[in-house]
Structures are given as C-alpha cells and as structure tokens.
C-alpha cells in the first residue's frame, strides 16, 4: 500500500446485533483498536441522520490520528434486516497534509467509489463470504491508490508553476491582508479555501489549536497582494484559544450551510465572537457566505433572509458552492479588491 497517500482503507457494516462492525481493512496489520475507533465514528454519522444516507463523498476529521477520512456511505433494501434496509460504509483515511488532493479532485474520486458501492451491494444481497469482500477491497485499493498517486504528482507539477520568488521574498509583497474564515463545523470553510487557493503557496495545520493557514498571491492593478487565509475550527473545544486567531484580521468570511438552518442562526454569534476581539478596529469588512448552493433540493435559507442579516452587520452577502466552484473566486477576489482600495 502506498502509505504516503492512503493510511488505512476499510469496509464497515452497521450490523443489527453487533452495531458498528469492521469487516475488512487494509493494511491487515493495522491496529484493531484503532480500526474500531475509526468505524465507531464513521457509523455514528449514520446513526445521527435518522435513516438518511449522504449521497456524496463525505470528509471526516480524525484528529486523534492526525488523519482525515473520505467516506462513502452505502444503503440498500434488505427485507431480512431491521427496517428493511442495510447500511455500511467505505472509509479511506489519509494524512491531513494531503487533504488538498481529496478536496480538489473530489469529482475524479467519486466514480471509483460509486463503482465499488454497487459491487458491495451485490455482495451484501448474496451473503458473500468475508474473503470476497477482502478481494474486492484489495482491487479497489490498487485502483484508487494509483489514481491518488497520479493526482498527487499532478499537484506537485502544478505547484512548481507558481513564481517561487514571490513567495520567498516578502519585499515583493505590496499589500498583505489577513482574512478570518469562521462558521459552524461542516459548513465548508476548508473546502472553500482549497477551491480558491487551488495550490496554496504555504499551508500549515496546527491540530492542537484547530487552525489552517493558507495564502494566495496575485496582482491587483500594479500591486502584488497576499491574502493570508485563517481557516479557524468551529468546534466548541476550540472556543477559548481560537479568539487569539482573530487578532489582526483585515477581513472576515462568516460561512453557513444553505441547507442547515442552525448554521445560519449561529452567524450572528460568530460575528460578535470576532467583533469582541477587534474592538479598536473599524467595522469588519467581508462577507456572510451561504455555501453549498449546489444542494438545490435541500436549501433552507432564502437570499432575502441572508441579505437582511448581512445588512444588519454591515457586511456583503454571497452564495457559493465549493463543490462546483460557483462564486468562490468572486467572493475572495471582491474582498481583496475592497481591502486594497481601502488601504491604498
């Protein structure tokens, strides 16, 4: 297994009697206790969704292992099971440092996951032996690992196309703006940043503090501008320490999920969370961002409500889709231009 891309690959069932059940995994010598820890978290998502199974690939963090997981949830009709359905999941765990590949190339990764999903459903319906699942997982690992290696190499080549001198020589930067990106967990903050930066010049992760820092350098008129993007974790456990990350912010993105009512209701809390740390600064400049616009059938927040909230906080409003890229560049570029004109 190419460990630099895939750390562990597993298939787990939600068994009527056993509960979360890791059936097979690779490498086979991966610690069983760690496998169970992973499976419990993966299956817990299913348990909390009242029978609804995510249709697209899901990225879950596993900070205990410094890993992230790409999860494909599976559901099929089965009259022999409780509720008449069977549920399971494929989980591919990878180092956090490689997450740009998984976010950026989600469309390329989806077809092989869809293919193995159908094969697994067929095996489940025919009560196949464990060995058959193992063979299928080995085949999938080979295919997906080759694809990931290809994408990772592509990423390295593209990264070299950026002008390294601009990154190394701070004297070439005319304007540097710090942008705080905040919002509830799962609204797509990291996905938005990765969609925008594409190949970030510098990207670091501090797991104990819960912050990603990325930057992007580009030209506005005749000036070289650097946006430093602070992707600040939304989990409650980071509440105290994250406030220090707001200091020095020039702009802000308050992100909510258009299909999640609660994440929208919490936007004002996030606004004042930041505002209270920047008391001696002028009014905040930035956007309230309604993300996941692509979830057309699940949208819960109207543009009228969002614009009203944005006006209340003297911010702009924009709707984006990190999945399709819609309005992502516009949001970051418009904020950069506004800051540039203000500071110039």
Average pLDDT per 10 consecutive residues for the chain, totaling 344 residues: 75 84 94 93 70 75 85 90 86 82 79 95 93 96 89 62 44 84 87 74 44 79 86 61 74 94 94 82 85 89 94 94 87 92 82
pTM: 0.57
Can you name the residues that pair with 11 across neighbouring β-strands? Answer: 24, 90
What token pair was written down for 3?
Answer: 């460990």
Measure the CA–CA gap between 140 and 293, rounded to whole angstroms.
31
Q: What is the pLDDT of residue 36?
A: 94
Q: What is the pLDDT of residue 164?
A: 40
In total, the chain counts a number of residues equal to 344
CATH number of 164-343: 3.40.50.300
Q: What is the pLDDT of residue 60?
A: 82
The neighbour count for residue 93, using CB atoms within 10 Å, is 23
What token pair was written down for 161?
Answer: 């196309």
Measure the CA–CA gap between 201 and 199, rounded to whole angstroms.
6
Q: Residue ranges of the domains in the chain?
A: 8-159, 164-343
The neighbour count for residue 344, using CB atoms within 10 Å, is 10
Q: What is the pLDDT of residue 234?
A: 55
Q: What is the pLDDT of residue 134?
A: 96
What token pair was written down for 196?
Answer: 């925008």
Are 234 and 189 spatial neighbours (Cβ–Cβ below 8 Å)? Answer: yes
């Amino acid at each position: 297994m190419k460990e630099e891309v895939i750390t562990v690959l597993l298939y787990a069932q939600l068994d009527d009697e056993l509960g979360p059940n890791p059936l097979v995994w690779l490498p086979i010598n991966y610690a069983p206790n760690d496998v169970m820890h992973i499976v419990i978290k993966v299956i817990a998502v299913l348990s909390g969704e009242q029978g609804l199974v995510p249709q697209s690939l899901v990225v879950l963090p596993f900070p205990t292992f410094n890993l992230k997981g790409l999860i494909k949830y599976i559901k099929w009709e089965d009259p022999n099971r409780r509720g008449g359905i069977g549920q399971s999941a494929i989980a591919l765990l990878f180092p956090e440092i490689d997450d740009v590949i998984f976010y950026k190339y989600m469309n390329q990764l989806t077809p092989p996951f869809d293919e193995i999903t159908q094969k697994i459903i067929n095996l489940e319906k025919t009560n196949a032996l464990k060995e058959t699942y193992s063979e299928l997982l080995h085949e999938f690992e080979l295919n997906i690992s080759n694809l990931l290696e290809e994408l990772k190499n592509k990423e390295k080549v593209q990264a070299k196309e950026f002008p390294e001198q601009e990154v190394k020589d701070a004297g070439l930067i005319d304007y540097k703006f710090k942008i705080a990106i905040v919002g509830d967990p799962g609204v797509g903050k990291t996905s938005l940043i990765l969609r925008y930066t594409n190949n970030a010049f510098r990207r670091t992760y501090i797991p104990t503090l819960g912050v990603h820092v990325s930057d992007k350098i580009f030209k506005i008129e005749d000036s070289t501008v650097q946006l430093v993007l602070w992707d600040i974790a939304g989990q409650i456990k980071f509440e105290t320490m994250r406030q220090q990350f707001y200091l020095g912010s020039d702009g802000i993105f308050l992100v909510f999920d258009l299909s999640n009512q609660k994440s929208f209701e919490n936007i004002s809390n996030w606004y004042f969370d930041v505002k209270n740390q920047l008391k001696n600064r002028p009014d905040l400049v930035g956007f309230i961002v309604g993300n996941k616009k692509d979830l057309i059938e699940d949208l819960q927040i109207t543009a009228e409500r969002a614009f009203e909230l944005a006006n209340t906080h003297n911010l702009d409003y924009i709707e984006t889709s990190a999945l399709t890229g819609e309005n992502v560049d516009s949001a970051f570029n418009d904020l950069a231009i506004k800051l540039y004109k203000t500071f110039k």
